Chain A
């Protein structure tokens, strides 16, 4: 006979757990990753500061890749469709996620977005996260590679002030390089900062406006 010991009413007891609060998102991200893998779709997530050039970078890459890949774009933003409108003009399927006041995308939102796409007919998906160098680091989406975009117009400390997102990213893009001199910014310092934080990160300097460096980003992503 099994003796079951139950707490008596009013008795104080401890419950030992190991409840991971981030696990729910991690599990969904893993599911997303698996769905994308099964369909043979490469997924690149673009994070970065506000106005750093995330959408411009994606637009430039889409221009160069749309003959080789069937591409879709998932845009995350608080309330507008400004970003997705720019890319849909290139004949690419677009899903807009409006996060409301939420400052980052999460795996759940991506899972919902994937349901709006015909995955059978895609090879490559770009996801643009909300402009934010803090929160997205913690919430994986299930993408294959993560890029973080900063620009020389944000000052010299943008990288060292946000180590966690550079730890998470596979590629760091330093954009608006054509303005570095006007800003008095030394891009090699930003590059050094990124590599100090994450020795494995690949750093590419770009100007989305002139097209400089975009091919090197494509190469760094293995596309």
Chain B
């Protein structure tokens, strides 16, 4: 993912003949499996020696939102807490009626914007 991120940023910067990238804003869904710290580390490492070097990686988390086809619920994903001590996990159960829900937000990993110097 870090490689794809760096490649995409470099491609977009090159398209605009930019001399330097200052900041990249990434929107990472709550349900995406991306490790933010690892991503930052590899972004920095892979960016060395490129126009990305020194730039800031800003990560915003997109909350998970689900939609229930049975009762019409639309809202935060339900986290199950009561089954095991100290283990909390997300579920695809509707918090209202217990039916299966579709995830409408929270799975993406998007580059929202790139700040660069012309």
Contact = CB atoms under 8 A, between A and B. Distances in A.
Contacts of B91: 163, 196-198
Interface in A119-175: 134-135, 137-138, 157, 160-161, 163-164, 167
Contacts of A19: 8, 12, 110-111
State the main secondary structure of chain A at its contact with B.
mixed
A157 B99 CA distance: 23
Given A12-B117, A14-B113, A160 B83 contact: yes
A199 interface: yes
Given A11-B118, A21-B5, A198-B92, A160 B87 contact: yes
Interface residues of B, number: 34
B21 to A, nearest CB: 10
B111 A21 contact: yes
Contacts of A135: 33
Interface string B106-118: 0011111111111
A158 B16 CA distance: 48
A137 B100 CA distance: 18
A17 B113 contact: yes
A14 B22 CA distance: 10
Given A163-B90, A198-B92, A15 B109 contact: no
A182 interface: no
A16 B113 contact: yes
A119 to B, nearest CB: 29
A193 B84 CA distance: 10
Contacts of B90: 163, 167, 197
A79 B111 CA distance: 34
A197 B84 contact: no
B35 to A, nearest CB: 11
Contacts of B57: none
Contacts of B116: 12-13, 15
B93 A196 contact: yes
Contacts of A161: 87, 89
Nearest to B79: A163
A24 interface: yes
B40 to A, nearest CB: 15
Interface stretch (A2-10, A30-38, A63-71): A2-10
In the A-B complex, the 10 residue pairs with the closest CB atoms = A7-B118, A19-B111, A200-B100, A163-B89, A199-B100, A21-B109, A15-B114, A11-B118, A197-B91, A21-B4
Given A16-B112, A160-B89, A163-B90, 14 more contacts: A11-B117, A13-B115, A14-B113, A14-B115, A18-B111, A20-B110, A21-B111, A138-B33, A161-B87, A163-B89, A167-B31, A167-B103, A196-B93, A198-B92
